[in-house]
Amino acid sequence: MISDSIQKIEREDISHEHSYFLITFQDGSIADERNTNWSSFSEERQAYMLERSKTVVVCTHPVKNIKIFHNGLIADLDVPEDCQVYQAQKSQAIFVNGAVKTMVIGRTVGLIREDKIVLERYLDGMSGNVVGVEV
Amino acid sequence: MSTIPVIQFRASTTPFAVLTSVPYSQSTPGGTTIPVLEGNDSDPVVFRVYNNYACAAGIATALNATLASYDGVSVHTYSMPVASQKWVHVLQNGFGESKAAPGVYTFFEGSDTAIGGLNTYTFGNDSSGAQSSQIRAGSDGNGCGFLEVKSYIRVPTTATAGVAAFALSLLFDWTT
């Protein structure tokens, strides 16, 4: 099974209790960010949407479904066979009053087809909304 | 394993100290430093945005990094003058990374951009010099990387005297 080939880890912090991915591969096996790192089965790629490029970290295994969770918000995507999936946490390092405070403010998931982003969902932890775009 | 990028705003010259503020002011012809007057630009301030200056192990790359200006902490509002009127101007002034801090500097000049709210600044070269907007923690997640920024404020002629609050923010993506 695909998930058997992916390194499992023990997390010491609780930051992923309310913000994590849950990915189901084509063979039905599952990887969960609460004991797995995305970097264990992904690679960086340049992808394009509406003539803008961004770096995405794409899963290198065939995927059936991906769910992302962030502070009560959820996005649930079934992945077509001709698409690859990426996800990432969105963070902000804000410099004010003499200090820098870094926090996770949301999470993104998307589908790419031949380096073109065809769908993206963003769980916005600041507004409490799920927003997105589909091309 | 990759943990969240460790972002710091530091001086661009030795000893590359952590900044507690970005001091915008202007100099008179006589060399006196004064607050920035309405209708004037401040003197430029150069600073670096580092990822993992301490060169800890297993630190993620800050992907798709953009500089933004908002009203304050924990908000993405831009109703106050500095953010809403886009007083803050930034442009990339260089990049670098290394296995040991402070990293090896290379000059790169970006485009002068007024930031505030939805107007954000995307870097032209990443910390390695490639064409992307990201700050790596060295080449393997165990070093440090930085983007150097030149910044100034352009105060409108309609500005009123006083202290104008705002926050500088680096937005980025990362994965575990």
Q: How would residue B159 be classed by pLDDT, with cut points 50, 70 and 90?
A: confident
Residue B83 in this model has a pLDDT that exceeds 90: no
Between B51-55, B160-164, B170-174, the lowest mean confidence (pLDDT) is in B160-164
With beta carbons under 8 A apart, name residues in chain B contacting A98.
20-21
Sign, CA torsion B110/B116/B120/B125 = positive
Residue with tokens 């599952």: A30
Sign, CA torsion B67/B70/B72/B75 = negative
- pLDDT at A14 (0 to 100): 67
Cβ distance of A95 and B74 shorter than 8 Å: no
- pLDDT at B1 (0 to 100): 58
Cβ distance of A96 and B167 shorter than 8 Å: yes
Q: Which chain B residue's Cα is nearest to A108?
A: B173
Helix spans in B31-131 (H): 81-84
Distance of CA A16 to the CA centre of its chain: 13
Q: Please provide the average confidence, as pLDDT, over all residues in chain B.
A: 92
Overall average pLDDT of the B162-170 stretch: 85
CA atoms within 13 A on the CB side of A55: 25
CB pairs under 8 A between A and B: 92
Q: Give percent of chain A above pLDDT 70.
A: 98
Complex ipTM:
0.95
pLDDT tens for B144-153 read 999 999 999 9
| Of residues B130, B129, B141, the one with CA closest to residue B99 | B141
CA distance A56 to chain B (A): 8
What is the spatial distance between Cα A22 and Cα A107, in angstroms, rounded to a whole number? 13
- pLDDT at A106 (0 to 100): 96
With beta carbons under 8 A apart, name residues in chain A contacting B117.
none
Residue B117 in this model has a pLDDT that exceeds 70: yes
What is the spatial distance between Cα B163 and Cα B176, in angstroms, rounded to a whole number? 40
Name the more confident of A10 and B61: B61
- pLDDT at A23 (0 to 100): 97
Sign, CA torsion A5/A61/A68/B132 = positive
Say whether the peptide bond before residue B102 is cis (omega within 30 degrees of 0): yes
Q: Which chain B residue's Cα is nearest to A43?
A: B175
Name the more confident of A4 and A61: A61
Q: Is A3 near chain B, with CB under 8 Å? A: no
Q: How would residue A98 be classed by pLDDT, with cut points 50, 70 and 90?
A: confident
Cβ distance of B176 and A38 shorter than 8 Å: yes
Cβ distance of A55 and B132 shorter than 8 Å: yes
Q: List the single residue in B70, B73, B175 with the smallest CB-CB distance to A39.
A: B175
Let me know: does B160 contact B55? Beta carbons within 8 Å: no
- pLDDT at A50 (0 to 100): 81
Kind and range of the H or E element at B146? strand B144-153
Q: List the single residue in A33, A39, A92 with the smallest CB-CB distance to B169.
A: A92
| Of residues B3, B2, B151, B168, the one with CA closest to residue B90 | B151
Residue B139 in this model has a pLDDT that exceeds 80: yes
Let me know: does B87 contact B117? Beta carbons within 8 Å: no
- pLDDT at B95 (0 to 100): 98
Q: Is A5 near chain B, with CB under 8 Å? A: no
Residue B87 in this model has a pLDDT that exceeds 70: yes
Between A30-39, B41-50, B74-83, B95-104, the lowest mean confidence (pLDDT) is in B74-83
CA atoms within 13 A on the CB side of A39: 15
Record the tokens describing residue A112, joined without a space: 């790419």
pLDDT tens for A38-80 read 999 999 999 998 878 999 999 999 999 999 999 999 999 999 9
